[in-house]
Amino acid sequence: MVLAAGMGTRVGADGNKVYLPVAGRPLAAWSLRTAARVPEVSRIVLVYRRGERGLAGELADREGVAVEFVEGGDSRHGSELNALTYLADDIESGAVDVVLIHDAARPLAGPQMFSRALAVAREFGGAIPALPMRGAVTADLSAVPAATLVRVQTPQAFQARALLAAYRQAERDGFDGTDTSSCVEAFTDIGVRTFPGELGNLKVTFARDIAVAERLLSASTR
């Protein structure tokens, strides 16, 4: 599941930032191309912003990636719910055993991170890449031990049936989580494990991030 239904207002884009050119390709193209190279990934669902089905289709066609399309919701949680509802029959039948979720705005996550997330999720239930936060402070400005807080990234992965059940229960309860793991932790008892994230796994959020991503992608062999 590649999430591409955000706004991109902080990056300064007039439209959706995932279609901005970065190192010769639209930002979202990098994530689609990476997902297509992961042997364990059998299907790619691109979650597009309402009104952008044409842009999403053109992107997939131009990159030559086989993609299924789902219209996003009004929030990240809503977009994930829409995609899980679309996949529900195959999840319930067991045809889809793990769902991997990745932000289209993270173009530098490599295939090995996708594979690691899937392997950890299959073993434990859920997988989240994380990096320790350095120099964090609390609201009263007292220092927080470095090991206490982490910065999470994507790709994340979760066992599919538990994930679908969590989102269905969240819908019944009117719960709209800030991220996938918050919903999983609220409505399931599966184990969610962290694995080492990568400093280079940049999320393009601000205009300066585009220049950084350009340099890193241009220097890579991807």
**Cα–Cα distance, 53 to 116 (Å, whole number):** 31
What's the pTM? 0.90
Predicted pLDDT of residue 135: 58
Question: Residue 6 belongs to what domain range?
Answer: 2-219
Is residue 28 within 8 Å of residue 104, measured between CB atoms? yes
Q: What is the CATH number of the domain that holds 82?
A: 3.90.550.10
**Cα–Cα distance, 80 to 4 (Å, whole number):** 11
**Over residues 146-159, mean pLDDT:** 86
At 92-118, the pLDDT tens digits run: 999 999 999 999 999 999 999 999 999
Q: For residue 66, with 0-12 CB atoms within 10 Å meaning exposed, 13-18 middle and 19 or more buried, which class applies?
A: exposed
The Cα-based distances of 15 to 10, 23, 88, 124 in angstroms read 11, 19, 31, 39
Number of domains in the chain: 1
When the pLDDT of each residue in the chain is averaged and rounded to a whole number, the result is: 91
Range scoring the smallest mean pLDDT among 17-21, 30-34, 46-50, 149-153: 149-153
Which residues are CB-contacts of 160 (< 8 A; sequence separation ≥ 6)? 87, 91, 96, 97, 98, 99
**Over residues 47-72, mean pLDDT:** 97
